[in-house]
Structure 1
Amino acid sequence: MTILRPYGDTTGDGMVQVSFTLPMANSKVAEGAAAQLANKMGIEPALVVHAKAMGPDFTFFVVYGRVNHLVDTSTVEIVERDYPLMTPKEVNAAIKSGLRRRLTVVGACIGSDAHTVGIDAIMNIKGFAGEKGLEYYREIKVVNLGAQVSVPQLVARAREERADAILVSQVVTQRDAHIVNTKEMSAAFRESYPSDRRPLLIVGGPRFDEKMAGELGVDRVFARGTTPGEVASYLTHQLVSNRKKVGA
């Protein structure tokens, strides 16, 4: 089956739950406004199941109701993983035999972003989701610059370390800060390096769309749930396996 309808209480009943905030004080009028908005979104009937004041002038709502929209799964566009997953042992062996040196990754949270949970989960040895971070791989040199790193600082450190890859994490998304910062970073690296010597540019965060790599000017976008093993495998595929094929 390629045509689907949302599921709530029974299969195909079309029930959905959405949440949003309105710039209104919590009141009956505000609840009515939330229901009206939900109706305009195609939720009919719309039931406001939760309303909570967010300070004196804002209210957070959860609305439950039915939609008639259908999903055609045959038209869904995604980014398929185009590289094999490798164990740490396989990654280390490939880098050692292919590069004959350690692979250097410089990571940071750029701009005003002070949330290092994402970059630490991938780079620090403790890792994420039961997998060790990149620091665990003996053939990968990890340089984690932490939070609130400016783009010029990142470029300068990448040059100093002779980085093979740049890994940037962006969590703050107000006013599309993650998009603006990533485009600035991409432009800076493309201006500072010849095309054949530029480090691999990778960006990740919970609100990135994996299909945005071309728009952002980076080589790869990793979305929420990405594990260190996936990143290590991608780095090895792009910087070792692919180069060996090109040189063959």
Structure 2
Amino acid sequence: MSTETPAPGPIVRPYGDTTGDGMVQVSFTLPLPHDKRAEGAALQLAAKMGMSPALLVHAKAMGPHFTFFVVYGSVTHLVDVRDVQVVEREFPLLGSAEVNQAIRSRLGRKLVVVGACIGTDAHTVGIDAILNIKGFAGEKGLEYYREMKVVNLGAQVLVPDLVASAREVGADAVLVSQVVTQKDAHIHNTTTMSAAFREAFPAGEVPLLVVGGPRFEEGSAATLGVDRVFGRGTTPGEVASYLVHELVTPRTAPEPRGEQR
């Protein structure tokens, strides 16, 4: 591959073999049995996506009626990085000692966190990475923090049971992980959960609602009715720092949480 330095500027193209050659690789599945006709359909789709020329580099039958494809080719599309919008972190990252100190000195009790995977989602890797003491990416999970009480309900938790558990332990925050996204299951489960908490708790007393998963859009919290959305790669330290920012750090003329959404 080329080692030449890309020319500076706000307009960029994809990079494959040489700078600015526009080469991309995409994968998709078509509801066709694997044969020459299916391969031709895959190349036709790639052409309509703006890939020219397009090379079929992989095709594999997925049962008798579906085929998985990988296509490689050049596109003419340009990206203006000045138009890219990102969600900036609005709180400082704190170490575990700083988190514990803030909770102990300002809250005067342990901060209570309830976590779960809701609906039919049985993938606990995400919620365990944030909550379990072993943590993720070299950081200890929230169970490691002395000033936090963590209740991990595990997988496939029904929304009414999550609400009941949060009420029983007096949760300050509820963390929900969603990995299963077929037919937007993560969106449906999150909005259902949010509505259930707003119905069960008086205004201003709803626990902080935080959701995370690899296919959430980070700027979608208001649409989903939650306080915060975390995407892929989030670490326990980021979540702990956010909880302190929202629940512990003094604010100037704070508003009740139930009126902020």
TM range (shorter): over 0.9
Matched, 1:67 2:69: no
Q: Which residue in the other structure is 2:237 paired with?
A: 229
Matched, 1:31 2:39: yes
Taking structure 1 as the reference length, the TM-score comes to 0.97
Deviates more, 1:207-216 or 1:190-199: 190-199
Q: CA deviation at 1:66?
A: 0.6
Q: Which residue in the other structure is 2:158 paired with?
A: 150
Taking structure 2 as the reference length, the TM-score comes to 0.93
From 110, 121, 132, the counterpart of 1:113 = 121
CA separation in 1, counterparts of 2:252 and 2:108? 12
Q: CA deviation at 1:191?
A: 1.1
Matched, 1:210 2:218: yes
Matched, 1:191 2:188: no
Amino acid at match of 1:159: R
Q: Deviations over 1:61-110 (max 9, x none)?
A: 00000111111111111110000000000000000001000000000000
Q: What secondary structure does 1:107 align onto?
A: strand
CA separation in 2, counterparts of 1:61 and 1:246? 53
CA separation in 2, counterparts of 1:186 and 1:152? 11
CA separation in 2, counterparts of 1:161 and 1:88? 23
Q: Deviations over 1:122-173 (max 9, x none)?
A: 0000000000000000001100000000110000000001000000000000
Q: Which residue in the other structure is 2:168 paired with?
A: 160
Amino acid at match of 1:157: S
Q: CA deviation at 1:244?
A: 7.5
Amino acid at match of 2:91: Y
Of Structure 1 and Structure 2, the greater helix share is in 1
Q: Which residue in the other structure is 1:178 paired with?
A: 186
From 35, 53, 57, the counterpart of 1:49 = 57
Q: Deviations over 1:4-53 (max 9, x none)?
A: 10101001010000000011111111111000001111111111100011
CA separation in 1, counterparts of 2:241 and 2:101? 12
Find runs of 4+ consecutive structure 1 residues off by over 3 angstroms.
242-247
Q: Which residue in the other structure is 1:219 paired with?
A: 227
Matched, 1:96 2:104: yes
CA separation in 2, counterparts of 1:2 and 1:217? 35
* Unaligned stretches of 5+ residues in structure 1: none
Q: CA deviation at 1:195?
A: 2.2
From 1, 11, 14, the counterpart of 2:22 = 14
Instruction: Report if aligned partners of 1:46, 1:66 keep a CA contact under 8 Å in 2.
Output: yes
Aligned residues: CA RMSD = 1.1
Q: CA deviation at 1:243?
A: 4.8
* Unaligned stretches of 5+ residues in structure 2: 1-8, 256-261
CA separation in 1, counterparts of 2:223 and 2:153? 25
Q: CA deviation at 1:245?
A: 6.7
Q: CA deviation at 1:201?
A: 0.4
Q: How many residues align?
A: 247
